[in-house]
Chain A
Amino acid sequence: MENNTDTEFLESLADKEYEHGFVTNIEMDILPPGLNEDTIRFISAKKNEPQWMLEWRLKAYNAFLKMELPTWQNFKMPEMNFQGISYYAAPKNTPKYNSLDEVDPELLATFEKLGIPLNERKKLLGVKDDEADVITDEDGNVSERPLVAIDAVFDSVSVATTYKEELKKHGIIFCSISEAIQDHPELVKEYIGSVVPQTDNIFAALNSAVFSDGSFVYIPKGVRCPMELSTYFRINAENTGQFERTLIIADEGAYVSYLEGCTAPQRDEHQLHAAIVEIVAHKDAEVKYSTVQNWYPGDKDGLGGVYNFVTKRGICKGANSIISWTQVETGSAITWKYPSVILQGDNSYGEFYSVAVAKGKQIADTGTKMIHIGKNTRSRIISKGISAGNGQNSYRGLVSIGAKADNARNFTQCDSMLIGDRCGAHTFPYIDAKNPTATLEHEATTSKIGEDQIFYLNARGIDTEKAVEMIVNGFAKEVLNKLPMEFAVEAQKLLAVSLEGSVG
């Protein structure tokens, strides 16, 4: 293979445009940049929050003031100006929509660009739709479309939640967290901060102080959520940070599958996204959390892009509970997140499936923590890192077996694929065992995308780009298979797009 085509391909890869880089012109309610106690009081007042919530926020703010930015990372920490960020931005028309006409047309257009299916868009806006939900596949077979309930978060505010009534029948609560604070304060009070404390890390403290919205899910005892729940996050306004907070509680024997998708417009300055996701799984409960993250990654010179500093953690509180994280990370200038599971209940099980792509000047530092506390707890980690262009991809993980976690079992596999000679792949796994009955396995490999595989496919009449796409999809398959069907298709496309023309 010639070198110059290699270079050309790499360049075209770096030049690949970000297709969600549009801005929606919606009238916004924006708080001027700056952070102090008044900012927090303002946000809290704007949300009509009870006194205890304000106090909780202020406590987090005070903790935030005492904390410093971490220094352990494997990349140069960008300078953070917390005063330069606007902490509250909301579309001006916030009343809940009852019919399509009430919705800001720009918002509708946004959903269209985001690729939210028409059917869901209608549901999102609460329009009654009597047509059968069907989808037609490639062979012309008609099947019933799986139902997905969506909560859309636009900058800092949740704009709409679909299928609320339907879910209510099952006793499921799916709403924005601000609504939950109003309507279900006892639940919020009990669980908020119970998995990710306000003082967990500086970004968690910041989020706890200024979070403006997010999703709240409660699945009652023994209920299997009949549809996928989904949230779309989008940063739209300039100079804003997005600080959303998701809280998912699965009571005894409950099951829920939750999806999260994100995009942001193309901007020259960096935007901060510091979210928190907390999951609580009680006895026999199961929570599946899937993310397809596609924030704006910045241009080829590393200008702009989202700093995605997210704290995600779940706790398997009761026996036999299951928490499963699946993530496809293709966006953001810097991704810094470690979805973790605390395996407290006996026989509980944690999973982490991840595909992370770092191209252009992107940095992905991601991984997981599996904290084994209960007996017979098991965990499985599959991480696939793909580095291209000047991308730097790190896997950072912890598997910790406590002294009382008898018969704990962990399997970890983290593989890296390198495309191009200026990228990097790094692994930082921490493995701590304090119990002699524990069995842990960790394996990792790093290799170049197989030239012989590309050659083989070329020989079968498949061009190089398509071949790379096939190989990458094959490499990531184990993870993609874990995604709910619709998301898997989207993720597969996203991977293809992200790596278009990356190898000669």
Chain B
Amino acid sequence: MTTKQLESPLYESLQAQFEIVSLQDQHEATKAYRTQAMETFRALGFPSIKNEEWRFANVLPLVKTTYEVSADKNAQISEETLAHAQSLIAAHKEDILPKLKGEEKGAYRLVTINGVFSKELSFLPDNAGITISTIGEAVDHPGYQEYFGKIVTLENNAFASLNSAMFTDGLFIELKANTVLDMPIHIIKVKLASGNALFQPRNLFIVRKNAQMDVIETYISDADNEAAILINGVSEIALEENAHFFHYDIQKGCKNIRKIQRNEAVQQKHSNYSNYTFTFPGSSFTRNNLTIHLNDEAIESHLYGLYLTAGEQLVDNHTEVHHKKPNGESNQLYKGIIMDKSKAVFNGKIYVYEDAQKTNAFQQSNNVLFSEQATVHAKPQLEIFADDVKCSHGTTIGQLNKEAIFYLKSRGIGEEQAKQLMVKAFAFDVAEKIKIPALRSYVEEMIIEEMKGH
């Protein structure tokens, strides 16, 4: 091992657990894929901070402990657990669905408890144009055979390799051609654990030609639990010609959650993928890797990020946009409010390949440092190999305008409230991009809520 890898007990224990997971898999092609991914992971090991991609995200504390791997795919959810999960959903105000339902339009709901799909708590669309199943059930589906394992990049990617080798659960959603889903699907992932647990969900979303859907992902865990939960998730996303996919990832949750998520999307001609990654105080370690491949002409990609961090939280957003063909457009807008002793990292990469003439690629990252011990590391990166392009990036790090706060105070608005107003205004650029009004007000409320006391 070189110095760029970490030696850890987790690495050792995973080697043994792989055999169990692999044995359970009955599907030959998937089994072969797992074995290959494990080889890649073995060669890579866990990255240390000497690895450029992980410079500011030290995974050592995460891999120092060992975790129980939930290997039993067919586990039944007991009634107790079910009730517990239900109460959690209510307690965490996670249930934004009634609010959505209160209006003309609502949302479908898909609940998983520790990765196991719960029919009782879910409310699924009754539409022949959509297939929803667990990833394990989907192995014979043509969409699975076409896309599974073909989107995510494993090379130099230890965590994605580990997920590919050992994923135990996840969802498969396919929207057939010309289907437009009438309501968003809200996926609630409930994580309960009595001991340290490692979850490796693996999702595959396919949006076929001319189809359109909205997906909202949220997760919650048991806050009273001292056990550490490590989530190493991978989602593969495919957009075919003229497909539209609005993908919302709302991340909060309690301190015991450590999350490493990789979302990788491939896009075909005229498709539009919009990703919204919003991270709120809660989980102690969040790393989002978002990679988009614009594989054809005239593609649009929008990446919106908002991170409001507090406590000793680390939120690390890595984005990669690959413009491979002409006339593509990508937009990245990431805004951060960094409070307490928290640390935020933004690393955005735009690659414009030789063929990708007439590309417009923009990237913007704005950060507000709120306290003495807050830290920001920003690294906006452009690599451009075509000449007829318009690319720009901008980064700012600053603080709230003191004069503006003074002005508000002079109008009888308290300091705390003035700051909240200013932050809300700062976040507006990103929040206004949310297409679902109820979700937007939920996010705005959450900003105010989390700002309290700062």
B-binding residues in A (CB < 8 A): 72, 74, 401, 403, 416, 418-448
Contacts and interface: CB of A to CB of B under 8 A. Distances in A.
Contacts of A418: 384, 386-387, 389
B385 A424 contact: yes
B398 A440 contact: yes
B65 interface: no
A201 B381 CA distance: 24
A447 B379 contact: no
A425 B384 contact: yes
Contacts of B397: 401, 431, 433, 438-440
A443 B377 contact: no
A446 B384 contact: yes
Contact of B376 (A72, A423, A432): A432
Contact of A420 (B387, B393, B399): B387
Contacts of A447: 389-391
Given A433-B369, A442-B395, 19 more contacts: A74-B383, A416-B382, A416-B384, A418-B384, A424-B383, A425-B382, A426-B382, A426-B384, A427-B393, A429-B395, A430-B379, A433-B377, A438-B397, A438-B398, A441-B395, A443-B392, A444-B392, A446-B391, A447-B390
B389 A432 contact: no
B58 interface: no
A465 B375 CA distance: 48
Interface in B10-56: 52
A448 B377 contact: no
Nearest to B371: A436
Interface string B139-174: 000000000000000000000000000000000000
21 contacts: A418-B389, A420-B387, A421-B354, A424-B385, A426-B384, A428-B379, A428-B381, A429-B380, A431-B377, A437-B399, A439-B396, A439-B397, A439-B399, A444-B382, A446-B382, A446-B384, A446-B391, A447-B389, A447-B390, A448-B388, A448-B389
Contacts of A425: 382, 384
B372 A440 contact: no
Q: Which of B374, B380, B382 has the most CB of A within 10 A?
A: B382
Given A420-B387, A424-B384, A430-B379, A444 B398 contact: no
Interface string B354-376: 10010000000001011111111
A436 B370 contact: yes
A434 B383 contact: no
Nearest to B398: A439
A446 B392 contact: yes
Contacts of A72: 52
Q: Which of B367, B373, B394 has the most CB of A within 10 A?
A: B394
Interface residues of B, number: 35
Contact of A442 (B374, B385, B394): B394
A189 to B, nearest CB: 35
A429 B396 CA distance: 12
Nearest to A388: B387
A431 B377 CA distance: 6
A447 B387 CA distance: 7
B247 to A, nearest CB: 28
Contacts of B393: 427, 442-444
A440 B388 contact: no
B375 A432 contact: yes
Contact of B396 (A424, A432, A440, A448): A440
B379 A419 contact: no
B378 interface: yes
Given A438-B398, A442-B395, A444-B382, A431 B376 contact: yes
B2 to A, nearest CB: 11
The 4 closest A-B pairs by CB, nearest first: A436-B369, A418-B387, A442-B395, A440-B397
B380 A442 contact: yes
A438 B398 CA distance: 6
A421 B394 CA distance: 25
B404 to A, nearest CB: 15
